[in-house]
Amino acid sequence: MRNLIVGLVTLVTAVFTGNSYANNQSELAKHLYTANAPKPAQRVAPQYPRAAAKQRREGWAILNFVIDEQGEVSNILVGENSGSEDITKAAVQAVQKWQYTPAMEDGKPVQQCANSVFLSFKMGDKRTKGLPAKFRRLYKNALQAKSDEDYEELENLLEKMKSNKYQHLSENSYYHLLAADYAKLKGDKHSQVQHLQSVMHSLELLVNEKQKLSVLYQVFDLQIQLKRYNTAYKTYKKLIKLPAAKPYLDELKTTIEKIDGIVASNQSFTYHGNIKDKRYWQLNMSRKEFSLTDVNGELSKLELRCANKHHVYTIKDRSTWKIPAGWDQCRLFVFGEPNASFNVTEHPFSEHSDT
């Protein structure tokens, strides 16, 4: 692990240029930290779907939502989830009923738009512990196919594991760990980090502390390689809480300081987006100005969800947008037809930002 961290420090040092780190720290700090959070007043527990309970099926969902000036939840977007539609629907129905004491600004209630929640559905009995015999056979055969470099068979077995109707959270974690290994073999870093992030959401299912450290560190490493610096910062916060990470805290701190320097530098960051089979593509923003280029397919709108601002743009309005000062912790959502692709470029910090 120490060699991996040293390599990561070398990676971020190699791509760091410029000396604007100190001058931009106040701007960067405003962007990376949440403030003015609303307080929960009423949270309705989700109802376990009857069919899922009968099948002893488990799952989870991440939801993004807006809390308006009255403390009500609106504009719910479904993020990553375990794939069970009824479980995701139950999560949405519960969050729609939640009430908050709204955030205040200058003595007035304001909307809070950068909210997300992870909801898991667990049966909570011993029958869901461990792996069912059918899944164990699939997993064992998939490991053998990987060892034999029979990747066509491995893909077939991974698809069977993914489509298992009665999947428990433990099965979900084993599937994503193996799928992440396969993505690494193919050199597909985007798929690798997506699979590992799915494991990260159910990290408590991993009984080995070193395995937890390995998963979080791999996510952190890949997020940096993919220039997802804002998301990497959040993973770092989780990583340093692990007891197993204690020997590496100094190296990790050095790495995050280098990331701060990269974000504050005069480099531009370009990301390739693909909506695939989802309704939208998402990016946690590190900068205040961005452009949309190389669009293939139909895009319908852009949506910015910041700490206390929420704005929707039509794609035809322009190709470059500046986020006003004070719009902090922003997430960009790009909506369009399945498989639409595009590039998003974040530009360096400038002294003034406007719409």
DSSP string, 134-182: HHHHHHHHHHHHHHTT-HHHHHHHHHHHHT-TT--HHHHHHHHHHHHHH
pLDDT for the residue 24:
43
What separation, in Å, do the N-terminal and C-terminal C-alpha atoms of the chain show? 44
Angle at which helix 133-147 crosses helix 151-162, to 10 degrees, equals 160
The CA-CA-CA angle for residues 112, 354, 347, to 5°, reads: 95
Instruction: Assess contact for 16 and 261: CB atoms under 8 A.
Output: yes
In a domain, residue 328? The reply is: yes
pLDDT for the residue 52:
92
Q: How many helices (H) and strands (E) does the chain have?
A: 11, 15
C-alpha distances (whole Å) from 139 to each of 81, 112, 325 are 21, 43, 50
What count of Cα atoms within 13 Å lies in the side-chain half-sphere of residue 158? 20
Backbone angles phi, psi at 90, to 5 degrees: -65, -35
Query: CB neighbours of 211 closer than 8 A, spacing ≥ 6?
Result: none
In a domain, residue 139? The reply is: no
The CATH number given to whatever domain includes residue 76 is 3.30.2420.10
In a domain, residue 215? The reply is: no
pLDDT for the residue 55:
86
In a domain, residue 43? The reply is: yes
Instruction: Assess contact for 120 and 336: CB atoms under 8 A.
Output: no
Query: CB neighbours of 32 closer than 8 A, spacing ≥ 6?
Result: 230, 233, 329
The CATH number given to whatever domain includes residue 343 is 2.60.120.380
In a domain, residue 162? The reply is: no
In a domain, residue 106? The reply is: yes
Q: Look up residue 113 and give its amino acid.
A: C
Angle at which helix 169-186 crosses helix 151-162, to 10 degrees, equals 150
- Domain span holding position 63: 39-123
Residue that is last in its domain, among 85, 106, 123: 123
Domain count along the chain: 2
Instruction: Assess contact for 228 and 281: CB atoms under 8 A.
Output: no
pLDDT for the residue 207:
72
pLDDT means over runs of 10, the chain (355 residues) = 48 40 40 57 92 90 93 93 91 96 84 89 67 90 97 96 80 93 96 93 80 94 95 94 94 95 93 87 93 92 90 80 89 93 90 46
pLDDT for the residue 36:
55
In a domain, residue 21? The reply is: no
In a domain, residue 153? The reply is: no
Please state, in angstroms and rounded to a whole number, the distance separating the CA atoms of residues 148 and 155.
Answer: 13
Please state, in angstroms and rounded to a whole number, the distance separating the CA atoms of residues 66 and 73.
Answer: 6
pLDDT for the residue 314:
84
Please state, in angstroms and rounded to a whole number, the distance separating the CA atoms of residues 111 and 104.
Answer: 9
In which residue are the tokens 């197993």 written? 244
pLDDT for the residue 95:
96
Residue that is last in its domain, among 123, 153, 171: 123
Residue that is last in its domain, among 123, 151, 179: 123
Please state, in angstroms and rounded to a whole number, the distance separating the CA atoms of residues 320 and 295.
Answer: 13
